[in-house]
Amino acid sequence: MYHRLTPEAVAQARGWVSMLLDDTTAPSWFPHVDYSSPEPLRAAASWLVECGHADGMQHEMVCILLALYAGEAAWEAMDGASGGALIPRDAA
């Protein structure tokens, strides 16, 4: 059974991705890139936590949410449900 992220989790992850893309001090990470290791994801999560963008969450939970978000974005892109959008629609 496939479980979707809640609308709140999608909104939070979408905000994080926007921050990662917009801030020149942020490490490079994007949900649609197939990285050869989890290090870019870990660096992105660490940056979000260290900069106070993760609402007191631990690094590991931010990693998990970003990874789930990336998986959901990839699933929607493959399924065509997102209409080719790079950021998935709300999970509502």
Q: How is the chain split into domains, by residue range?
A: 1-29+53-78
Q: Rounded to two decimals, what is the model's pTM?
A: 0.78
Nearest Cα residue to 31 out of 3, 20, 54: 20
Per-residue pLDDT of the chain (92 residues; tens, 9 = 90+): 456 789 999 999 999 999 999 999 999 999 888 889 999 999 999 999 999 999 889 999 999 999 999 888 777 666 665 454 444 444 44
Q: Report the phi/psi class of residue 56: left, alpha or beta, with left for phi > 0 and alpha for psi in -120 to 50.
A: left
